[in-house]
A and B are shown apart, each in its own frame.
Chain A
């Protein structure tokens, strides 16, 4: 409820995706330049390979009052600033999928033209979608590996949990819902108590009980190392892609 839909203008070359926007009450157009003319805060939400072309197109219409926020993976602030007028207020944002349910994890970095005011505005606006933190640009690829892709790791884990339950005799639908709730509940406890996850883990482990037996299985499978490998692989891939 931070911004009324009528204040949002979205543009796309075709109508394919625009209907959804109109349904929410937003205005739409096929003209990118119109977005620059009508808006102060402009989000660049195209696929990375399309972006340079779009920047060329809108460059003449970009002025000192504009705040340009790019969400294109792998497109650096240096590139963005090179393709836009000197001194433009540019910021780079990396969200993740659960933003759609207001439980996102987002990081952003500011370019040389953007100041505290712009950063504060963006943070305040995006906090309505979840956790939003300003970071040095070098963290953005890491965020991709941790949380951008990380969401997929969680889905995989949830699927496996449910499968285990099915094996032990529970119907799949129920198992899936309980798996999701378990993950959400555990995450909520971490966020709300601020306690170290190792301590929270210990709190659940009664001596000789079910949990410690299960954890031993996870340790035997070197789950921790595997997860670390996953974050590393995704981060490295993000770094490689940014060079292309």
Chain B
């Protein structure tokens, strides 16, 4: 089986690194493409032994499982570009937040009658094989296609199938989650430094504390509330500290964060479905390339381009 990545940025790099480290895929069976060869991740991919090309079409041709690892606004251009090369054997996996299966199927159906589409939401810790991934299968993707993806993603962390309407919530929780954790760790380290620890040690200990706590929770049958209680001796240090967290509305802040990320994802999807985005938001090299290879898609430089339709409109 060979895997391709359209896009050679953080996500492609993280997944490629994870798959190869897990041994499920040899590097030479992976192809990644991007018009931008200056990306720092490009040299990383090359060093891994991944085949790098500037041609998205080449990636499609040499892959069975095709990951769309570009930013959400770029997706329609990619689909337009590689659509003609999609064959029945291909499993198209979109990792783009807020991009629905139906929008992808609609776009591809002009080229291929029954495209196999799977929508996936993963997160950056796939890079250390502790990712959290969910996926939802499209209309023409079989159970085996889903299981194939699940096998791949399970090699780099936790992976499970969900209904598509839950994916935005997953984005809010585990998609953005590592960022919340990094913020917390930075602050915990500050606390350690304030109380006299050297920075490096503080970071190391903070990270290990969170890692250990997470591992305990995953391996325990107990409720996190119970595990918390187990750490809080009466009148001790921990319960004093927790009181501070509660006073600051710690729990509520986390709930707010997950909610905000989920709502924003839905907003972006809504914007994508409804409105137009300016071509200035898209890298020039990609735009030129798209113009070259898809003459049917004309883009007026001063006007806005509508996503998910084949025509361009001026606003």
Chain A: residues with CB nearer than 8 A to chain B?
196-199, 202, 216, 219-220, 222, 224-225, 228-229
Contacts and interface: CB of A to CB of B under 8 A. Distances in A.
A228 B252 contact: no
Interface string B256-267: 100100000000
A199 B247 contact: no
B216 interface: no
Interface of B: 222-226, 229, 243, 246-249, 251-252, 255-256, 259
Contacts of B226: 196, 198-199
Contacts of B259: 216
Nearest to A220: B252
A198 B251 CA distance: 13
Contacts of A220: 249, 252, 256
Contact of A222 (B225, B249, B255, B256): B249
Contacts of B222: 196
A197 B223 CA distance: 10
Given A222-B246, A225-B243, A196 B225 contact: yes
B265 to A, nearest CB: 15
A149 to B, nearest CB: 18
Nearest to A228: B243
Contacts of B256: 220
B168 to A, nearest CB: 11
A215 to B, nearest CB: 8
B92 to A, nearest CB: 29
Nearest to B245: A225
9 contacts: A196-B223, A198-B223, A199-B225, A219-B252, A220-B249, A224-B246, A225-B243, A225-B246, A228-B246
Given A198-B223, A198-B224, A199-B226, A225 B252 contact: no
The 8 closest A-B CB pairs, nearest first, are: A198-B225, A225-B246, A219-B252, A225-B247, A199-B223, A224-B246, A220-B252, A196-B226
Contacts of A219: 249, 251-252, 255
Contacts of A228: 243, 246
A216 B224 CA distance: 18
Given A222-B247, A224-B246, A225-B247, A216 B255 contact: yes
B160 to A, nearest CB: 15
B163 to A, nearest CB: 11
Contacts of A225: 243, 246-249
A232 to B, nearest CB: 8
B225 to A, nearest CB: 3
Nearest to B226: A196
Contacts of A202: 223
Contacts of B246: 222, 224-225, 228
B251 A224 contact: yes
A220 B255 CA distance: 9
B246 to A, nearest CB: 4
Contact of A196 (B229, B243, B248): B229
A229 B223 CA distance: 25
A144 to B, nearest CB: 15
Nearest to B229: A196
Contacts of B229: 196
A140 to B, nearest CB: 14
A225 B243 CA distance: 6
B252 A216 contact: yes
Nearest to A219: B252
Contacts of A224: 246, 251
Nearest to B247: A225
A55 B246 CA distance: 45
B240 to A, nearest CB: 10
Contacts of B249: 219-220, 222, 225
Contacts of B224: 198
A209 to B, nearest CB: 13
B69 to A, nearest CB: 29
Contacts of B252: 216, 219-220, 222
Given A199-B225, A219-B251, A228-B243, 19 more contacts: A196-B222, A196-B226, A198-B225, A198-B226, A199-B226, A202-B223, A216-B252, A216-B255, A219-B249, A219-B252, A219-B255, A222-B247, A222-B248, A222-B249, A222-B252, A224-B251, A225-B247, A228-B246, A229-B247
A228 B223 CA distance: 21
Contacts of A198: 223-226
